[in-house]
C-alpha cells in the first residue's frame, strides 16, 4: 500500500491528513492509536501533550510531527457573551477570523452553538460592500486551518471557558460565512465539510452545515455532487443583472439565469430548501419595486430569503435602510408568498459582521486598501429605479 504523501513531510496538520494519514503516521504503533488521537482531535484537543491516554514518548514524538494549534491574536465578545470572535493565525500564515454564536435554548431545551468559519484570508470576489472584499485575496486556507476554527470553539465550549444557561457544551452548527468565498477554495471546503459530517469526525448532520456562496456555479454543481443535504445559501443582493454586476462582480461571469438554474438543480438533487441572502443597502437595492422584482425572481424556488441590513464597513459609503424601510421590503416579499426574515444583526446568521475584526486589524497594520469607491460611484451614476421613491417605504403601523 502506498503511504499518503503528507507523512513524508516533517510536520503535518492532523486535521488535514484524515484518518488514513493518521494511521500512516502511527504505522509503527498499535492499531488503536490512530482512533485514540482522532478522539482527542474531535474534542478540540490538538496539542499532543494534552492527549493524556498516549504514552509520554508518543506524545513527545507527535508534538514534533504535528502542526501546532493556531495562535489567537485577538478575542472579542459581544451581545452579552453570546457572540465570540477570534482572530487566528496558523504558523506564519495570514490572520483569519471566526465567530461563535450562541443561541441559548429556552426552558431546558438544547440551545445552539454555531461557528462561522473563514475559508480564505481575504477574498478575490471584490463585492464592494464587504469588509473582507476590501482586502483582496491574501491566501487560501487548508482544510486543517478551516477545521481548527471549529476546534478552537469546541474546546472553549467543552472546557466551560464559554458557558451559560441553555448553552450546549459542543458545536452544533457550522456556517461557511466568514472571510472568503468557500467555493473558490473548493477542495479544502469539501474536505472540511466531510470532516465535520464524518460520524467518526465531528458527526455534525449535513443539515447543521451551511455553505454560503457568492454564486460560483461550478462550485454549486460540485457541492450537489457530494450528495449531502448541506444547506446552500446564495448571496443574491440584487434582483437584476445590471445592479448585480456592480454589487457582486462575479455576476458578470455567472449571471442570474445561470445561477438560479444551478440553485434549482441543487434543490432538486439535495431536497434542501435554498436560502438567498440579500444585503439591504439604502438607495441601492432596497426599494419596494426591487422587493417586488426579487419576489418574482425567486418566487417559484420555494426558497427562504434572509435580509441582512448592511453592516457598516470601513471605507464603504453606504448604509442600511431605516427599520421601517427594512420591514416594508420584508412585507412585500411575504405578501408575494416568499418566506423571508430579517437577520438579527450579530454573528453570522450574522453575517456580515464577519470580516470586520479582520478589516480593523488589517487597516491598522496598513494592509488594506479601500476598494469600494468605484462601485459606489457606478451605482450612483446609474439611471433608473435603484433608489426608493419618496413615500415608497411607508412606516409600519
Ligand atoms: N463569500 C461568501 C460567504 C462569506 S460572506 C458569500 O459572499 O456568500 C457572508 C455573507 O455576508 C454574504 O451574504 C455577504 O454578502 C454578507 N456580507 C458581506 N459584507 C456585508 C456587510 N458589510 N453587511 C452585511 N452583510 C455583508
Ligand atoms: Fe468575498 Fe463574500 Fe465578501 Fe463577496 S461578500 S467579497 S464573496 S466574502
Q: H-helix or E-strand containing 7? A: none
Distance 26 CA to ligand 1 centre (A): 41
Cell of 391: 413615500
**Is this prediction's pTM over 0.75?**
yes
Q: H-helix or E-strand containing 277? A: strand 275-280
Is 8 a domain residue?
Answer: no
pLDDT for residue 177 is more than 50: yes
Ligand 2 pocket residue status of 208, Cβ below 6 Å: no
- Lowest-confidence range among 87-96, 170-179, 350-359, 369-378? 350-359
Residues 199 and 325 in one domain: yes
**278: domain CATH number?**
3.20.20.70
* Highest mean pLDDT, choosing among 131-145, 262-276, 353-367: 262-276
Residues 92 and 215 in one domain: yes
* Mean pLDDT, residues 227-248: 96
- Write the CB contacts of 241 (distance below 8 Å, at least 6 apart in sequence): 251, 255, 256
Number of domains in the chain: 2
Distance 15 CA to ligand 2 centre (A): 26
What's the rounded Cα separation, in Å, for the pair 123 and 134? 8
Residues 303 and 366 in one domain: yes
Distance 141 CA to ligand 2 centre (A): 15
pLDDT for residue 174 is more than 90: yes
Tell me whether residue 263 is one of the annotated catalytic residues: no
Is 1 a domain residue?
Answer: no
What percent of the chain is predicted at pLDDT more than 90? 57
* Mean pLDDT, residues 194-212: 92
Q: What is the pLDDT of residue 328?
A: 98
**Which phi and psi angles does 146 have, rounded to 5°?**
-75, -50
pLDDT for residue 229 is more than 50: yes
Q: What is the pLDDT of residue 6?
A: 36
pLDDT for residue 393 is more than 70: no
Best CA proximity match to 354, nearest among 123, 124, 141: 123
Cell of 246: 456592480
pLDDT for residue 144 is more than 80: yes
Contact 213, 193 (CB under 8 A): no
* Mean pLDDT, residues 165-190: 94
Tell me whether residue 354 is one of the annotated catalytic residues: yes
Q: Which of 97, 181, 277, 349 is catalytic?
A: 97
Ligand 2 pocket residue status of 180, Cβ below 6 Å: yes
Q: What is the pLDDT of residue 390?
A: 36
pLDDT band at 351 (very low <50, low <70, confident <90, very high): very low
Cell of 88: 487566528
Residues 19 and 148 in one domain: no
Residues 46 and 102 in one domain: no
- Lowest-confidence range among 45-49, 157-161, 340-344, 354-358? 354-358
Comparison of pLDDT for 250 and 351, the residue scoring more: 250
Residues 232 and 279 in one domain: yes
Question: Looking at ligand 1, which residue's alpha carbon is closest to its atom 4?
Answer: 177
The single residue listed with the C-alpha cell 461557528 is 115
140, 189, 263, 308: residue to mutate for ligand 1 pocket, most atoms within 8 A of CB: 308
Q: What average pLDDT is seen over the chain?
A: 86
Neighbours of 206 (CB within 10 A): 17
Contact 304, 346 (CB under 8 A): no
The helix/strand/coil state of 27 is coil
Neighbours of 353 (CB within 10 A): 22
List residues bridging with 231 in a β-sheet: 210
Residues 61 and 78 in one domain: no
The single residue listed with the C-alpha cell 496538520 is 13
Is 4 a domain residue?
Answer: no
- Write the CB contacts of 335 (distance below 8 Å, at least 6 apart in sequence): none
Domain that holds residue 47: 14-65
Positive or negative: CA dihedral 218, 223, 225, 230: negative
- Lowest-confidence range among 90-99, 309-318, 325-334, 374-383? 374-383
pLDDT for residue 384 is more than 70: no
Residues 20 and 127 in one domain: no
Neighbours of 289 (CB within 10 A): 14
Q: What is the pLDDT of residue 289?
A: 98
Which segments of 106-195 are extended strands (E)?
112-116, 120-122, 137-140, 173-176
Q: What is the pLDDT of residue 396?
A: 34
Cell of 104: 441559548
Distance 353 CA to ligand 2 centre (A): 12
Is 31 a domain residue?
Answer: yes
- Write the CB contacts of 85 (distance below 8 Å, at least 6 apart in sequence): 75, 76, 77, 78, 97, 98, 99, 100, 353, 357
First and final C-alpha spacing in the chain: 71
Is 389 a domain residue?
Answer: no
Contact 328, 292 (CB under 8 A): no
Amino acid at each position: 500500500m502506498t503511504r499518503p504523501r503528507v507523512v513524508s513531510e516533517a510536520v503535518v496538520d492532523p486535521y488535514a491528513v484524515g484518518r488514513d494519514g493518521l494511521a500512516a503516521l502511527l504505522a509503527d504503533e498499535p492499531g488503536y492509536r490512530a482512533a485514540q488521537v482522532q478522539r482527542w482531535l474531535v474534542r478540540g484537543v490538538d496539542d499532543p501533550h494534552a492527549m493524556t491516554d498516549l504514552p509520554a514518548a508518543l506524545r513527545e514524538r507527535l508534538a514534533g510531527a504535528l502542526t501546532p494549534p493556531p495562535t489567537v491574536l485577538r478575542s472579542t465578545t459581544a451581545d452579552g457573551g453570546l457572540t465570540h470572535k477570534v482572530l487566528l493565525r496558523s504558523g506564519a500564515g495570514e490572520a483569519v477570523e471566526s465567530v461563535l454564536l450562541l443561541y441559548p435554548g429556552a426552558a431546558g431545551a438544547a440551545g445552539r452553538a454555531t461557528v462561522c468559519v473563514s475559508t480564505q484570508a481575504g477574498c478575490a470576489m471584490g463585492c464592494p460592500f464587504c469588509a473582507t472584499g476590501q482586502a483582496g485575496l491574501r491566501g487560501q486556507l487548508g482544510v486543517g486551518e478551516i477545521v481548527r476554527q471549529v476546534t478552537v470553539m469546541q474546546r472553549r465550549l467543552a472546557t466551560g471557558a464559554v458557558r451559560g444557561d441553555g448553552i450546549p457544551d459542543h458545536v452544533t452548527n457550522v456556517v461557511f460565512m466568514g472571510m472568503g468565498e468557500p467555493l473558490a477554495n473548493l477542495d479544502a471546503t469539501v474536505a472540511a465539510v466531510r470532516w465535520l459530517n464524518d460520524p467518526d469526525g465531528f458527526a455534525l448532520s449535513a443539515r447543521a452545515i451551511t455553505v454560503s456562496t457568492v454564486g460560483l456555479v461550478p462550485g454549486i454543481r460540485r457541492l450537489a455532487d457530494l450528495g449531502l443535504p448541506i444547506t446552500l445559501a446564495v448571496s443574491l443582493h440584487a434582483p437584476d443583472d445590471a445592479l448585480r454586476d456592480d454589487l457582486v462582480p462575479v455576476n458578470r461571469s455567472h449571471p442570474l439565469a445561470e445561477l438560479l438554474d444551478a440553485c434549482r438543480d441543487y434543490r432538486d438533487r439535495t431536497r434542501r430548501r435554498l436560502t438567498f441572502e440579500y444585503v439591504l443597502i439604502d438607495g441601492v437595492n432596497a426599494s419596494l419595486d426591487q422587493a417586488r422584482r426579487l419576489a418574482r425572481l425567486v418566487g417559484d424556488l420555494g426558497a427562504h430569503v434572509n435580509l441582512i441590513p448592511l453592516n457598516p464597513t470601513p471605507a464603504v459609503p453606504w448604509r442600511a435602510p431605516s427599520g421601517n424601510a427594512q420591514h416594508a421590503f420584508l412585507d412585500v416579499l411575504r405578501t408575494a408568498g416568499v418566506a423571508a426574515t430579517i437577520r438579527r444583526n450579530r454573528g453570522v446568521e450574522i453575517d456580515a459582521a464577519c470580516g470586520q475584526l479582520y478589516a480593523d486589524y488589517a487597516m491598522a497594520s496598513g494592509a488594506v486598501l479601500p476598494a469600494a469607491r468605484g462601485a459606489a460611484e457606478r451605482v450612483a451614476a446609474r439611471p433608473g429605479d435603484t433608489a426608493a421613491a419618496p413615500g415608497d417605504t411607508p412606516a409600519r403601523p
